[in-house]
Amino acid sequence: MYEIASIIVSAVLFIAIMVIFTNERIDYISFTILAAVIACVVAGSVFGVGFSDFMNYVEFEPLFFIICMQIIIAIMEENRIFRWLILKTLHWTKADHRKFFYLICLVASLTSAIISDITVGIIFVPIVIRACRILKINPAPYLFGLSFTINIGSIYTPFSSAENILIANAF
């Protein structure tokens, strides 16, 4: 009976977070953290797990590393370092389509080895589309190559995604 109540509370919190996420004026991150804490307290009380037992299962080192990496990415994105990198790639290839393709795939692969693959996609896709418009070429093959090499690049290092960080920390 209590397990069903825990599931219902978690589902309601999840739906509430999705509703809050659609409103741009509200900071959804604080509500997400609050919802996670509430869900953990409810689940802990249902299954009889105390706070100290729960905190023993939390791996703090990977969490701090992930937070620091996201801060570095935000600073780099704010300073438009990724845009500069793509434009320099376009300049270095002297608008040669094949060289641009290979170099952009290499840059995306190496970048996704350092930061999360979704973040690389969110940053690089609009820039590659813009570069393809400048070159007056179809961006579809470039986006396919970009997505393929981003996925390949995320397995180069153990700290390219949150999952890899948690798995590497377990070993």
Instruction: Quickly count: other Cβ atoms within 10 Å of residue 57's Cβ.
Output: 7
The reply to whether 144 and 82 lie within a common domain is: yes
The per-residue pLDDT for range 114-165, each reduced to its tens digit, is 877 777 887 888 888 888 888 888 999 999 999 899 888 888 877 666 666 7
Whole-model pTM: value is 0.55
Q: Which of 33, 57, 81 is the last residue of a domain?
A: 57
pLDDT value, residue 108: 86
The per-residue pLDDT for range 13-37, each reduced to its tens digit, is 989 988 888 887 887 788 888 888 8
Specify the DSSP class assigned to residue 91: H
Tokens of 88: 């320099």
- Give the mean pLDDT of the chain: 81
Domain boundaries, position 134: 71-162
At residue 18, the 3 state secondary structure works out as helix
Q: Contact 135/96 with Cβ under 8 angstroms?
A: no
The reply to whether 146 and 122 lie within a common domain is: yes
pLDDT value, residue 152: 87
Q: Is the pLDDT of residue 171 over 80?
A: no
pLDDT value, residue 159: 66
pLDDT value, residue 15: 92
Tokens of 119: 């973040």
Residue 124 domain flag: yes
The reply to whether 11 and 82 lie within a common domain is: no
Decide which of 30 and 47 is more confident.
Answer: 30
Give me the amino acid identity at 6.
S
Question: Helix 60-78 vs helix 81-92: angle between axes, to the nearest 10 degrees?
Answer: 60
The reply to whether 145 and 92 lie within a common domain is: yes
Of 103, 114, 108, which Cα lies nearest the Cα of 70? 114
The reply to whether 103 and 156 lie within a common domain is: yes
Q: Contact 42/9 with Cβ under 8 angstroms?
A: yes
Q: Determine the average pLDDT of the residues in 1-16.
A: 84
Q: Which of 27, 57, 87 is the last residue of a domain?
A: 57
Chain centroid to CA 109: how far? 15
Q: Is the pLDDT of residue 50 over 80?
A: no
Residue 84 domain flag: yes
Residue 136 domain flag: yes
Q: Is the pLDDT of residue 10 over 80?
A: yes
Radius of gyration of the chain from its Cα atoms, rounded to whole angstroms: 21
